[in-house]
Each structure stands twice: as structure tokens, then as C-alpha cells.
Amino acid sequence: MNIKLGKNAYGKNAVNLSKIIRHDDHHEFRQISVNSALEGDFETAHTEGDNSKILATDTQKNTVYILAKEHFTKGIEDFGLYLSNFFFSNNPQVSKVNIEISEHLYTRMAFDGTVHPHAYVSSGDEKHTTTIVQNKDSITITAGIKDLLILKTTDSAFTGYIKEPYTILKETTDRILATKCEATWTYNSINIDFTAMFDQIRTTLLKTFAFHNSLSVQQTLYAMGEAVLQTYPEVTEISLIMPNKHHIPYNMEPFGMDNKNEIFMATDEPFGYITGTVIRG
């Protein structure tokens, strides 16, 4: 029997790091979680227990903290690129490096029109994400948003769908559209102001969602992706995940009352799950 090792990788997950960047007039607080994964010539570690080519996962963890001191000063994409290149350049046995970073977002507090120099409020569950994949021939950079909870109270409909014996859902031309959006997009260059680009793409996604007259979540998903590709030539493709966070009109007829799209039941499960990738033709 011929048995051999297939594709494999190893690394360190959930390296949680907080950093204060101290400017003269304010502090900049950053909180990230880093995953690293290495692929390469590690067969003998699996088949013979020979660890001579293994960069310990604890060392990978320490590398993240040490390099963050001097090199985590801009966007998470920039830091991810530095980490990836460091691991790749210093380990000839490594053929591929994968770095994933998610950043918890905070905003400086403001009082009476003045921004506080070092007090922050969380932006909730929303995160800025990036993945860097590097091998000897290429570097791929993706960025994105995760757990972005967005909602609008009208300009959303759902009609004309298949009706069969198990269909009880009523058509509507006026409903709440809510989703916890996840978006990831791929850049075509490493020479980008990643922080500014992220902010601009996020604004484009939100603006499109807000002003799009939605006939379905699918249509709105496509419109959001299309707007990003039309506006930013630096982006080659964008994928979106938009679960439908249902708000169902509550039946008030048994109580002799008319519900004019005012009272809803917010339900977490089950929920519709809509995904799609928009690419350049």
C-alpha cells in the first residue's frame, strides 16, 4: 500500500494583540487578532518526528508581538504584508505563508464637539479583516468587513417568487431589510493606501445599501458589489455574505388591531443565507 502525506500546514491562531500608538496630542488604540499558517517542506516532521525544519508556533506568536512594536503603525494589510514577508524570507523551507488579521474597531469619544485624546467607544461586533497569501511567485491581498449589522426600514420588497404547496410566505412591497454583512475583496496591487481604501469601500457599500431600491437581498448584494468594482479599479473582485435578519410583522388581528408595518418580531433563526461574488467580465 502506497501511503504519503497530503497537503498540510501549521501555525498559530488567535494571537490577540493590543497596541497604543502614542502621538503628541492623542493616543491611537488598535486591537487585532492574528492567525499565521505555514506550508512547505515539513514531511519528515509528520512521518519521522523530525522537527528540524519546524518554526515553533510559540515562536510565530512571539514574532507577531515583537514585530508589532515597530511595524504595526498603519493598516492591518501593511502589517500582514510585513509579517508574511518576514516568515517567508527567514524560512527557506517554507513555500507558502498565510496571514489572517481581524481588527476590532474603536472610535474616539467626542464631547461638546471636541474629540477626547485617549477615550474610546467600541464600534460593536464589526471588524476589519485581511488575508495575505505569499509564495515565491505572488502575493495575494484580500481585505474586508465582518459582522457589519445594517438595516433599513423601507425601500425593500420581495415578490414574484415560486409559489407551491409549501409556500405560506406573503409577498410584500414594503419590509425591513436587515443583514449582518460580511464582505471580502481582492486588491491587484501592494502599493495602496489600505486604510484610506478600506474606509472608502466601506462607505460605498453602506451608501449603496441605503439608497438601493431593493427587490431582493440578491439584487442588493449585486448592486453593492457592482458599485465597488465600478468605483475602485484596484479591486479585482468582491464577495459578500448577507444573511437575512428577519423582522416579521406581528399579527395583531386577533386583538382587533391593524398593524401598519409598525410592530415586528425580530427572529435570529432560522434565517435566509445569501452569498455572491461580483467579478470583472
At 241-258, the pLDDT tens digits run 999 999 999 999 999 999
Supply the residues annotated as catalytic. 12, 57, 246
Give residue 234's pLDDT band: very low, low, confident or very high (50, 70, 90).
very high
- Please say if the pLDDT value at position 38 is more than 90: yes
Average pLDDT over residues 74-79: 98
Give residue 281's pLDDT band: very low, low, confident or very high (50, 70, 90).
confident
pLDDT digits (tens, 9 = 90+) for 77-94: 999 999 999 999 999 999
Whole-model pTM? 0.95
How far is the C-alpha of 208 from the C-alpha of 226, rounded, in Å?
A: 10
